[in-house]
Structures are given as C-alpha cells and as structure tokens.
Chains A and B, each alone.
Chain A
Amino acid sequence: MNRAANVVSPTKVKRRKVASLDAKKARGGWFFVLPFVIGFVVLYLPMLISSVQFSFSEITVDRHVGYTLSFVGFENYSNALLSDAAFVRTLTESLKQLVFDVPAIVIFSLFMAIVLNQKMIGRAVFRAIFFIPVILTTGLIDQIDQSNAAMSYMSSGGIDTGVNSGSGDLINAMDVTSLLGDMAIGTELIEYVVTIVNDIYNIVNRSGVQMLIFLSGLQSISPSIYESCKMDGASGWETFWKITFPMISPMILVNAVYTVIDSFTSESNEVMRYITNVYNTGNVRPRELSSAMSWIYFVIVLLLIGLVALIASAFVFYQRRD
C-alpha cells in the first residue's frame, strides 16, 4: 500500500480526492482486525450456529454422506431438564458453589495483591510462588488432580479411603463455632468461612490471574494520593476504604466477571465434566443432548454474569480522566 502511494505522481494526487487521515485510519483498523473477522465469520459463526442446530435436532452419522440432521424441536432440552436425573441437581449445586466461590476468590486475591504490592524482603520469591498455579496447575494437571488418590493418601492421617477424608481438613466447623460462637455471628457465616478455609488450596489455585489484575490495578494508583492522605493523618484502615477500594473497584468488577467465566469454562467444572460424560457415554442421542445441556448452562451463566455485573457496577467508582 505504501509503495503504491509513493509511486503515484504528485499531479495525480492533486486531481484525486485525497482520503483524510481519519478515513485512512478507519480502513487500516479494518485491516488490523481482519484476521479475527475472517476467523469469526468463516469458522466461529458457523460452528456456533450448527451447535445450536444440533441441540434442536437428531444427528445420523453415515460413513459416506457424513451426517444428516432432522429437526426434533425442544425434545433434547426437555430430555436434559426432565428425563436426565442428575443434570438439574449437578447444575444447581455447581451454581450454588459458584455463588459462594466468587466473593471468596475476589476478596482473597485482592488481599493477597495488596500484601504482595508492599515492599518487603523476598517479595520476588513470594510473587513467583503465587503465580506458579497460573502456569502449572492448568488443563492436564488439573485433570490429574481431580481424582488424586495418592495425594489425598499422603496428606491425610493414613486412613486409605481413596477419597479426601475429614481428617485432612485444616480446621473443623466445631472448633470455629466454639471460637466465634460468643460473637453472635450466624452459623451460616461460620460454615461459609470454614468451607473457604478448607478449600484454600482450590481458591489459591484459582485466583492467580485475578491477583495479577489487582496488582496491575494497585500499581496504577498514583502514590501522591497516598502521600496526601498520610499528610492529612489518615490511618491505614481509612486509606484502604477511602482510596484503595474506590480506585480498585473497576478491577473488582472485572475480576468478578472473570472468575465466573473462568470457573465456568475450566476443565474442573462439575457441569462441564458431567456434560462431557454424557457426550461420551450417554444412551439416547448423547451428542445432541450434551449440546442442549451446554446451551442451557451457558444461558444460565450469562444471566449470572449479568447479575454480577449489575451488583458490582453499583459499587464501581470510575476516576474521571480528561
């Protein structure tokens, strides 16, 4: 393009209407996003459409013709919701788990990001350790860890049951109840805290990227704001709630949404594993049924993300930039 522009003689340029820089840039923008547009239109959109199609039809695979579809209406959906015994239960349980996990992961990663952002000895080492799960505990390793008899054997008290027994738990609800009982905190909250503490390995593993996002958010807060706060005599507690929290709140929204997406697309997701299981071992039209199931799940999670975004955006404070 450049070379062509150079070759054109000056007189010719004068006669023709020269495109403005904005118009040129707009065209350039299309060229930059072109790879994605091609991929989206040629590969992704057809896949999306045919996936929806599959969920409404019956596939007959033929070695010579490929496959043929016959429309069956909402049959697959009603099969998923009404006939399949475990699907609805798995779905509700996993959604409940998600609702519990999101605040835990967001709060934990914010807390750890603030700690890791402070100057101290060995900060680089701690940071490196904290980001190990992002790189290493993904995909394949995650899958191995799902049913890890050897590990639960080695961490537990020696009773080989093959599953995680209560003896390996860090804390026990009873102990905490006696500790917090006098403080008149509801039992639900105590249960919640206990579940989180026992699930800490899982939570640490899943909050790596969130921690990175919070860290980058913390670094973007100008130190002069903290300085003037200190001059005015604000305590650390006040500084956190009046400065750090509002400034980081857009990141909280991003992280809440990211956590929902991440846990919903991850390999260890209960519902996804159930759907894959149906795909591989189901009896009646397993592939179509699994398509229908994943679309049901997707719509529910989309609603959940909308809800999270709605709730979080009520608290978000955007710093006005000129």
Chain B
Amino acid sequence: MNNTQSKVTKLSKKEMKVDFEGKLSFWQRLKLRVLSPAFVGKLIYAIFRTVLLIGISYIILYPFLTKILASFMSNSDFVDSTVKLIPKNPTLDQWKFIILENKYFLALFNTARISVVCALFQTLMCAIVGYGFAKFKFKGRTILFLCVVITMLIPHDTLLLAMFMKFRYFDVFGILGLLGFERSALPNFINTEIPLYLLSLTGLAFKNGLYIFIFRQFYKGVPDELEEAAYIDGTGIFKTFFRIILPLSIPMMTTVFMFAFSWQWTDTFYTAAPFFTTNGIHLLPSIIEVPESLKIGNAASTLWESAIANTGGLLVILPLFIIFLFAQRSLVEGIERSGIVG
C-alpha cells in the first residue's frame, strides 16, 4: 500500500476512471472491501431492513390476497374445512351477481361523478384558502385559522343531526323563514348531491381542514420574492395567484386531489343515510349487500355473506387501486416536497 498512487484513465469525453490503488489486483481490492467490519455491519443491517420491510408489506398485502382468493370461492368451499386459501370449486358468481344485481356500473358512475366534482372543488378551494392564510397578513387571521382547526377537530358525527336538519330545512340565518316560508316549505336537500358540493365549495367537507393546513404550509415555503416581482410588473393579486402560484403548486394539488378523491370515494358518512336514503342516488356503498341469487340459508351463511361483502369491497377499491398505481409516485413526492414541516 506504500506505493499507492492514483492513476487516471480517460474513457471518453465525459467519463473517466480513477484508480487510486493501481498496484492492487482486483481480488485484493475485493478482499479489502468485503472483509472490513464496516461492510459486514452494513450487510447485516441491509438484510435486517429488507426482511422487516417485506414482512410489513406482507401484513399490508395479505388481507387483499385473502379477499381476492375468497372472492373466487363458491359456497361449498366455505363449508369444506380443507379449503383455506385456494378455492376447490372456483367460480365467478360473486363478481357476476354483485355487478349485475347490485347495479355496480350505475353506482360506479354516480360515485365517480360525485368524487371527481367534490375533489376538484375541494382542491381548488383549499388551495385558495390556504394561500390566503399563508401569504397575507390581515386582521382576524389567527382567529380564522383557529376556526379551520376547529373544523378539523370536531368529528362530523357530532354534527350529524344538526347537519341533517340544516339540509333538510335549508335556510340562511332564518332569512327564508322571516320572509314567510313555512318550515315544511324550505328547500329539502336530502337525497341530492347539493350538501356535498356546498360543503366542498366552502372547505368544510371531510378532512378539508387538513388540506387547508397542507396548502398553507406549502405556500409558506414559496419565496415572497416571486410574488413581489409579479406585483412590480403590475400584475394584480388574483392574477398573480392564478397565473404564477397555482401552476407552481400542481404537484401539491395532485397529492391533495388524490386524498380528496379517494377519501370521498370510500366515504360512508355523507353518502349513506340520513343524507342518502334508499330512494336516493345509487352509490357505491349500497352495492355492499348480498344479491338475491346468492342468498342461502345454511350454517355457513355468515362466512359466505362476509365473503360477498369483501368482494363488493374489492369492486369498490378496484378503480381506486388502478388510479393509485399510476399516481402513487406523484402522491409520495408531492407530500415530500410540500414541506409540511414549514
């Protein structure tokens, strides 16, 4: 090792190879590198890490695996105690009857429409409100932000009855009542999509406080100089926001849109009774029921019915999963770049 001298060989215009231990053969170098305690420690750690990650991935994926396998089982497989994971009499009945008899595609279409519209509204509105909180100093800002936190803190279940009454007899500060409307004549928004859209447009829907918070943190990280330059060039506040800031925040908006979309998709609070009763719009939660053709009355019916519920669940998340496959990269990266940290 005494005669160590660096040797530089130029491979091409852009690459070059530096050989610091020109005197050592390949095997000697390998030995030095592999047999060092640091390398062994690193190797053990890497193995430990991989095993751990695979184990936890298994925990996450296993329920999906069992659900998928159970969805192909026929009723007799649940009575047969030798059948655990692999169905003996595979059948597509569960999928077929849920899709046909529970009107899957109608529910899919309705839910997709509601989710897309709500998620768009929520993303845009939370971006606007978050920008207002991040970049402007005005009187009452702290109190208003406290209000956002309050909407985040109070679970919607607490307001269930009040919300139902609000949308059943819709009124703004009792103005319509003062104008001489009877309570029973007030607009009834139950079984319509209007409550969802109203809540989305005002940043009050499911977890919107969180989105406002995320956007606020994101916009706090955007340098003020950017807007100042725009103001000096004579752009107004709103134009600056829509032309400069909004395009800048597209990664963040994708992330929030994904959250809003998927949480709206699987939501059971606003899309079930009392807001949507059985004669309302046919939505995805209502496909989780046993179709007529699959009803049985024997001992294994509990298992069978829960397997059917699982298959319904798979049908619900299948479109989401496909979207997730394409969007997961931008989802994770968006959150990382967001600087929720501040």
Contacts and interface: CB of A to CB of B under 8 A. Distances in A.
Given A130-B56, A131-B328, A212-B332, 14 more contacts: A2-B236, A22-B137, A26-B137, A28-B237, A35-B129, A39-B204, A66-B184, A112-B56, A120-B46, A140-B267, A151-B306, A261-B152, A265-B155, A294-B155
B196 interface: no
Given A2-B239, A35-B129, A200-B59, A51 B306 contact: no
A36 B129 CA distance: 7
Interface string B146-188: 0110011111111111110110110011000000001110100
Contact of B159 (A47, A147, A153): A47
B268 interface: yes
Nearest to B163: A47
A213 B236 contact: no
A275 interface: yes
Interface in B127-145: 128-129, 131-133, 135-139, 141, 144
Contacts of B144: 33, 36-37
B313 interface: yes
Given A1-B236, A24-B237, A141-B316, A149 B266 contact: no
A77 to B, nearest CB: 14
Interface stretch (A85-93, A94-102, A154-162, A226-234): A154-162
Contact of B139 (A26, A154, A250): A26
Nearest to B128: A32
Q: Is the interface of A mostly helix, strand, loop or mixed?
A: helix
A61 to B, nearest CB: 9
A63 B184 contact: yes
Interface stretch (A175-183, A187-195, A215-223): A215-223
B75 interface: no
A321 B311 CA distance: 52
A161 to B, nearest CB: 11
Interface in A252-304: 254, 261, 264-265, 267, 272, 275-276, 279, 287, 290-291, 294-295, 297-298, 302
B321 to A, nearest CB: 6
Contact of B336 (A33, A219, A275, A297): A219
Contact of B162 (A37, A51, A140, A267): A51
B288 A144 contact: yes
Interface of A: 1-2, 5, 21-22, 24-33, 35-40, 42-44, 46-48, 50-51, 54, 63-67, 112, 115, 118, 120, 124, 126-136, 138-145, 147-151, 153-155, 158, 160, 162, 200-201, 204-205, 212-213, 215-217, 219-220, 250-251, 254, 261, 264-265, 267, 272, 275-276, 279, 287, 290-291, 294-295, 297-298, 302, 305
B329 interface: yes
Contacts of B67: 150-151
Contacts of B340: 213, 216-217, 251, 254
Most chain B CB inside 10 Å of its own CB: which residue of A26, A27, A38, A141: A141
B254 to A, nearest CB: 13
Contact of B183 (A66, A130, A275): A66
Contacts of A154: 66, 69-70, 84-85
A105 to B, nearest CB: 14
Nearest to A258: B210
B62 interface: yes
A138 B313 contact: no
B330 to A, nearest CB: 12
Which 3 A-B pairs give the minimum distances between C-beta atoms?
A39-B202, A29-B136, A32-B132
Interface of B: 46, 49-50, 52-53, 56-57, 59-63, 66-67, 69-70, 78, 81, 84-85, 125, 128-129, 131-133, 135-139, 141, 144, 147-148, 151-163, 165-166, 168-169, 172-173, 182-184, 186, 198-199, 201-204, 212, 231, 236-239, 241, 258-259, 262-263, 266-269, 284-285, 288, 302-303, 305-307, 309-310, 312-313, 316-317, 320-321, 324, 328-329, 331-332, 335-342
A271 to B, nearest CB: 10
Contact of B161 (A25, A130, A261, A291): A291
A216 B307 contact: no
B218 to A, nearest CB: 10
Contacts of B267: 139-140
A50 B162 contact: yes
Given A26-B138, A46-B173, A135-B320, A115 B53 contact: yes
Contacts of A254: 340
B173 A32 contact: no
A68 B269 CA distance: 25
5 contacts: A2-B236, A47-B162, A66-B184, A138-B266, A150-B66
